[in-house]
Amino acid sequence: MAFGERLAAAMDEAGPLCVGIDPHPELLARWGLNDSAESLAAFGETVLEACVRSAAAVKPNAAFFERHGARGVAALEHILGRARELEILTILDAKRGDIGSTMEGYADAYLSEGVPLEADAITVSPYLGFGSLQPAFDLAKHTGKGVFVLALTSNPEGAEVQHARTPDGESVAGAIVRQANALNEGAERMGDVGLVVGATVGDAVKDLGIDLGSFNGPILAPGVGAQGAGPQQLLQVFGNARGRVLVNQSRGVLNAGPFVEKLRGAIQAAAGAAQYTLQSFDVQD
């Protein structure tokens, strides 16, 4: 089954929540763990256990593992493998982007079947040109994986590039959305190529003339919870695209650890809140 179909089914079952696995040093300390590769594995195991049938997907952030070198990458391999065993979808937040054989190498590392760092989907950066990502799109289609393309990020610096206009007047972010959507043509419910759109970007979608409502793929939405976005921001940014929004939360739920039951409760509450918020918009339209 293709990634988009699997993600849609998981969202139906568990709600539209993706839990970030972000073991930064402050959070490890809060959990009573030292800053080591072994702690990363323990942290990830706990998050995965709490997410079983409670979240649609998890999103390990590669940077927090890579900072520990080979042992940290081994911990990431373990977490990705354990998630497959538990049948939890993984979106590896790696934000890779390059050209030619280098992009092929990144795609092989994460989207091939049976590789150590195999994930169900990855995040990629299109800012060497959308076409530079073609190796990832091609391999993902072959292996039934997903690709989430950075479109509108919530960091202030992102506007320098994403809000800029192409020679024909289209915004850079708008061009990314348009090209990503073309790759989902023919998908019955939700395609395999998604977007990353921050829930804190305010009126940027409207101001840039971007039609997210016609986008036929998943939209990963960081920024909800600890970063400040709530129901009003979700409505403002995503409007009638809300049925394809996968809300990402990290600190907002991870602060409930380290005990599995308490963490699971926080995840279920966040998933329920996201489900209620996104569905309740139907009444307001």
Catalytic residue positions? 95
Task: Tell me the sheet residues that pair with 152.
Answer: 197
Q: Is-contact 192 2, C-beta < 8 A?
A: yes
Q: Cα angle at 126 between 120 and 129, to 5 degrees?
A: 135
Q: d(Cα 54, Cα 244) in Å, to the nearest integer?
A: 18
Task: Tell me the sheet residues that pair with 1.
Answer: none
Tokens, residue 246: 């996968």
Element (H, E) at 208: none
Q: d(Cα 285, Cα 220) in Å, to the nearest integer?
A: 22
Q: Is-contact 58 51, C-beta < 8 A?
A: yes
Q: Cα angle at 10 between 1 and 113, to 5 degrees?
A: 40
Report CA dihedral (209, 4, 14, 259) to the nearest 10 degrees. -90
